[in-house]
Each structure stands twice: as C-alpha cells, then as structure tokens.
Amino acid sequence: MGQRLKGLVMLAGVLSASCGVDPEPVAINGSDDGRTLNLAMDQEVDLTLQTVGPGQYGQPSISSSAIRFEGIRSPAQQNPGGPTQIFQFRTVGVGSAVITIPHDGGRAPFTVTLSCCAT
C-alpha cells in the first residue's frame, strides 16, 4: 500500500508539472481588429500593426489588469510604405481586457479583446 501511495504522489507531481509548461506565444495582426481571443495564463501576444501612409499607432489602453503591456518593438525590416510596430502583451490574471490602440493619422483605433482563463 505504501508503494501505491508513492506512485500516486509521483503521478500527481508529473501532472501538476505539465500544467506549468509555458504556452506558445500568439501572433496576431491588423486583420484581428474587433476579435476576441481566448488565451492561457502567462501567454505572450505579439500584435503586428502596419500603417500605410502617414502616422503610426500610439500607446495602448487596457481595460483590465488581466493583461499587461510589455512594450513596443520594431521588426528587423520595415516596409517603405509606412511603419510596422509590434506590440507585446502578456496574460497575468483571469479575466478579459479590451485593448485599444489609437492611430495618430486619423484612422480608427485598433481594438481586440483578450480573454484569459486559468488553465
């Protein structure tokens, strides 16, 4: 009976360790405007937005603390038609957040809803 209990404890440890595996990053772009995406806890989201013509996207606003903004970076190569920006976010809590990113060239803002459930 002691051996069986040890086996169950080891199995429980293996199963709980597999839940701690980091989820793969999710890549989205301008075509995801208006969508809702379901994500895992601690999942990275890389949002690529490109402007054709004048202007660029500004600082995002996030409606909930379930999602954290981690920064903006530029891709290695830029399209000469306008700037490309990569916005990085991470799920840090259970819940949903609406992310709105304004554009200073008169375009409508980009909006996406990220929803995180603990898995």
Write out pLDDT tens, residues 39-49.
Answer: 999 999 999 99
Q: Write down the residue that tokens 């772009």 correspond to.
A: 29
Instruction: Return the CATH number at 109.
Output: 2.60.40.2020
pLDDT of residue 114: 97
Count of domains for the chain:
1
* Mean pLDDT across the chain: 84
Distance between CA atoms of residues 93 and 57, nearest Å: 26
Parent domain of 65: 25-116
> What's the pLDDT tens digit per position in 71-113?
999 888 877 778 899 999 999 999 999 999 999 988 999 999 9
Which of the two residues, 20 and 21, has the higher pLDDT score? 21
- What average pLDDT does range 50-60 have in this prediction? 91
Say if 48 falls within a structural domain. Answer: yes
Say if 97 falls within a structural domain. Answer: yes
Indicate the pLDDT class of residue 15, thresholds 50, 70 and 90: very low
Distance between CA atoms of residues 18 and 21, nearest Å: 6
Q: How many CB atoms lie within 10 A of CB 9?
A: 10
Say if 5 falls within a structural domain. Answer: no
Say if 7 falls within a structural domain. Answer: no
